[in-house]
Structure formats: C-alpha cells, structure tokens
Amino acid sequence: MQRWSTLERVRRIGKPLVFTAGLLPLAWAVLAAFGIAGNLGANPIERLMDHFGNWSLYLLMGALAVTPVRKLSGLVWIGQFRRMIGLFAAFYVTLHLAVYAVLDQGLALQPIIEDVFERPFITLGFIAWCILLALSLTSFMAIRRRMGKRWQQLHYGVYAVGVLAVWHFWWQVKKDVTEPLLFAVLLAALLGLRLYWARAPRIKRRAAQATPPNALSQ
C-alpha cells in the first residue's frame, strides 16, 4: 500500500467518513418517521422540526469551531472539513424550514408570510437561513476564486448566522432557556476567541512599534 500524504488521507478517508456521519441525523429521521428505529412520538412534526433545528445548530457550532480548534491544536488538516460541516448545517436548516413550511403549515402562504414578518423568532430564523443559503451557493471553489476578496467579506456572514440562530432558539422556547443559554455560551467563546486573535496581533504590533526595530533584530 502506498503512503498517502495527510491531504490525501483527508480526501480519501476523512471526507467520506464526515460525509457519512453528516447523513446520520437524516437517516434517523427517515427511520423514525417510518417507525423502524424509534418513533417521532405524539407530535411527530414538532419532533422533526426540533430534530433538524438542533442538528443545524450543532453543525453550525461545529463549523465555527473548526478554525479555533485548528489554531489551538496546530492540526492544520482540520480546516479541510470546514466547508463540509458548514454545508451540512445549511442542509439541516433547510430541512428544518421545509418541515415547517410543508408539513406544519401545509404550504399555506399567508400564514407563512405572517409568521416571517410578524413573529420575531421566525424572522430571525428566516434571515439566518437566507444568509446561509447565500454562503452555500458561493461555496464552490470556482466561485470563490472569481469573487476574490469579496468572498471572505460575504462569508464573515456566518458569524451573523450564529448569533441569529441562537437568538431564534432563545425566543422560540416558552420559558426554559437552559439549552439556548448553552449554545449562547459556546457561541460567545467561539466568537470571543476570534475577537481576541484579531486584536492580539495589533497589540503585538503596537508593542513592536514602541520598541526600536534594531532592538528587535538583535
């Protein structure tokens, strides 16, 4: 057997594994819907909506965790999974929205429009989905190259998606905010680290400016 480089191992083993794992929540939903492995309980539509909603939050947090974990661990190859995890988050939030629009609302346009414009938590969720959709559609390498600098600017939008998604969850629960609070703390940590790293070089630079350059080179 030939020796594969790290990049090849990621491509040939890592990505198929993560892809398969990413489909497991969907597989569970399908099996449960048919009563094969478990069931969806007394309120199956609510259960499906919660299931897909939860998984899109887990995966969104996962995608946002890739860069901090890569920096902290020094395992550069982890970055290779960021796009796939982010796309799975977009996939599950689309299923979440589809269950809401098709099964829960029966595609009744007027109530859906009313929800999107008049129920703040649904407004937040809908905006988050729109941004995530734009990020997914521009995630192809060819488009990324063509967009140049603007690609990165657009994809900073994922931070907004994180905030909107947790906020959406917070406003959706009736009273017990334990779970949304856990997500909020995690999100604060993930975004906080970025803020710290974004400021840290500047602090270093300022320190460097305060010291004569020749003092540093010696």
Partner 1 sequence: MLIKQPSDIPSSEITPESIYVSRRSIIAGLTASALLPSANASAAAVPSAGTLADVEKSPLSTDEAPNSWDDVTGYNNFYEFGTGKTDPARNAGTLQTRPWTVEISGEAERTGTFDLDDIVKPHTLEERIYRLRCVEAWSMVVPWVGIPLGAILAQFKPNSRAKYVAFETLYDPEQMPGQRQRVLPWPYREGLTIAEAMHPLTIMAVGVYGKVLPNQNGAPMRLVVPWKYGFKSIKSIVGIRFSETQPSTSWNDAAPREYGFYANVNPKVSHPRWSQARERRIGGSLFASKQPTQMFNGYADQVASLYDGLDLARNF
Torsion of CA 101, 27, 85, 167, to 10 degrees: 40
Site string for partner 1, 23-42 (x = CB under 8 A): ----------x------xxx
* By the rule CB under 8 A, 115 interacts with partner 1: yes
What are the residue ranges of helices labelled H in the chain?
6-9, 15-33, 44-73, 82-98, 109-118, 120-137, 141-147, 149-155, 157-172, 178-210, 213-217
Of 178 and 217, CB closest to partner 1: 178
Whole-angstrom distance, CA of residue 116 vs CA of residue 111: 9
Q: For partner 1, which residue of 106, 142, 211, 216 counts as binding (CB under 8 A)? A: 106
Amino acid identity for residue 56 in this structure: S
Smallest distance from partner 1 to CB 14, Å: 35
Work out whether 127 is an interface residue with partner 1 (CB under 8 A): no
CB closer to partner 1, 41 vs 213? 41
Cβ atoms 157, 163 nearer than 8 A:
no
Q: Is 104 in the site for partner 1 (CB under 8 A)?
A: yes
What is the binding site for partner 1 (CB under 8 A)? 33, 40-46, 48, 103-106, 111, 114-115, 118-121, 171-172, 174-176, 178
